[in-house]
Structure 1
Amino acid sequence: MSWQVNYVLAYIAEEPGMSAQHVRGELIRIKAKNQPDVLAAISAANKIDAATAASYREKYPEMDFLCGYRKTCVWPGDTIEYLQSAGIGWGSAGTLTSAALDGAANTASHKTYFFSDRLLRQYGRVQKLLREYDRIYRITLKTGTILRIGMIADYEPNANAVRSLWDEFGPVDIVWNINPNGSPSPEAIDAGAELGCEVVKWEELKGRLRTA
C-alpha cells in the first residue's frame, strides 16, 4: 500500500461519521453515514495532467473521485474538464472527505478554489472564462479586455508566494488573495508591483473588473 493511501486512511479514521478501507492499488472505499459509498483514487503526483487522470480512470473505472494528496498538487484546466465530463470529482483530501459526507463525490471540485470559481463565473461583467489551471484563469470582459488572474489561498501571502505563482504559471495581471480571513502583506503587494501585477482581495478585484 502506498504512503499516500496510508495517510488518507489515517486521516479519514479521525473524521467522525466516516470510515475507509483499502480496495487495491491506490483505490480506497469511503463509507459515510446515510450516504453512498465513495471509491477514490489517491495520487501522490505534484501535477495531475489529463493523461494521468485518464490512466487512473482506465485503471479504476469505478472511481468516483480523484484525490491529489499533496497540498501543492496542480490541476491543469484540461484535466478538470476531462474529470467533470466523466462525472468524477477532483481535489484535495479535504475536498474528498467533505464530498463524501455530502454525498456529492462525483461532482465535487477542489474546495480551496470552489467559491472563487463560482464568484468569477457569476460576475456579470465576465463574458468568457477559461480555466488554465485550478488557480489560473484567463477572463474576457464584456468590454473586450482580457485579464489573466492567479489565485493564492494563503492567509497572508508574502512576496515569495507572489513570485512563486508568477514563476510557476507565468505572468498574470492580477494576483487574487482568495482567503476570506486574510490579506496580502505589504511585501506581497510590492512584489506584485515589481512584477507588473496587482495583488488584491475580492472587493478590489470587482473594482478592477468594473473599470477594465
Structure 2
Amino acid sequence: MNWHVNYALKNLWKNHGEASAQYLRDEAIKITMPNQLVVIAVISAAYTINADLSMQYHADYPDMDFLCGYRKECVWDGGAISYLEGNAIGWGSAGTLGSAIFAGDVKNASHKDYFFSYRLIRQIRSIARLGREFDRVFTMTLTSGRTYRVGMIMEYEPTADAIRTFWDRFGPVDIAWNINPNGNPTQSAIEAGTALGCEVMKWDELSVLLRNR
C-alpha cells in the first residue's frame, strides 16, 4: 500500500469515526457511511494534477467518485478541473474529501480552500467571461471589456515572500486576492505586489473594482 493511501485511511479512521474506510487496490479506497453512502476515492500523491493525469485515473478507476490530491502542495490545473467536473467527479484536498463525505455530495465537491471565493466570483454579473487556469488562478473579463488575471492567496496574512512565490509559481497576475477571511495582507505584501505590477487586495476592494471598471 502506498504511503499516501495509508495516511488517508488512518486519517479517516481517526477523525471520521462514522465512516468505514477500506483499501481496494493501488490508490483507491472505499468509504461507506451509516446512511449507506458509498464513495470510491482515489488518493494521489502528485504535486500537480492535470487533465491527462485525471483522465488516466478515471480510466484506471471508472467508478471513481472523488480524486484527492493528498499533498498540501498539490496544484490542480484548469484542464483537470474541467474534466473532473464534466464527469461528475469531486476533486480537492483530503479535507475536502472529509467534508464532502459528511455533506453527502462527494461528486459535486471541489477544493474547499477556494470553493466559496470562486462561487462568489461566478455570481458577479459584471463578469462577462470567466476562465479557470488553476485551482487558485482565474481570468475574468468584465462587461466593460477589461480583463484581469487573478490569483487567490490563501495565507492568513500574506507576506512579500508569499506574493513573490505565487508569482514565480503561477506567473504574473493583475490582482492577488487574499481570500482568507480572518487576516489581511501585510504592508510588505502590498509593496511587493506594487513592485511586480499587481494589486494585493481583500474582497471589499475587489468588489469595488468589479463595480467600477
Q: Which residue of 1 aligns with 2:9?
A: 9
1:111 correspondence with 2:141: no
Structure-2 separation of matches of 1:54 and 1:138: 24
User: Residue type of the partner of 1:83?
Assistant: L
Aligned 1:26-175 pairs, distance under 5 A: 26-175=27-176
Contact 1:33 1:101 in 2 (8 A): no
Tell me the alpha carbon deviations over residues 177-202 of structure 1, each in whole angstroms, 9 at most, x when there is no partner: 11111111111111101101111110
Amino acid across the alignment from 1:201: K
AA aligned opposite 1:168: R
Shift of 1:211: 2.4
1:35/1:102 contact within 8 Å kept: no
Q: Secondary structure at the match of 1:83?
A: helix
- SS of the residue aligned with 1:156? coil
Q: TM-score, normalised by structure 2?
A: 0.97
Worse overlay, 146-155 or 28-37 = 28-37
RMSD: 0.9
Give TM-score, length-normalised by structure 1: 0.97
> Structure 1: any 5+ residue segments left out of the alignment?
none
- 1:99-120 deviation per Cα after TM superposition (whole angstroms, max 9, x unaligned): 1111111111101100011111
The 1:193–1:45 alpha-carbon spacing in structure 2 relative to 1, beyond 3 Å, is same
| CA offsets 1:122-144 (integer angstroms, 9 cap, x no match) | 01211110001110010000100
Contact 1:40 1:67 in 2 (8 A): yes
Name the CA distance, whole Å, in 2 between partners of 1:18 and 1:201.
37
SS in 2 for 1:30: strand
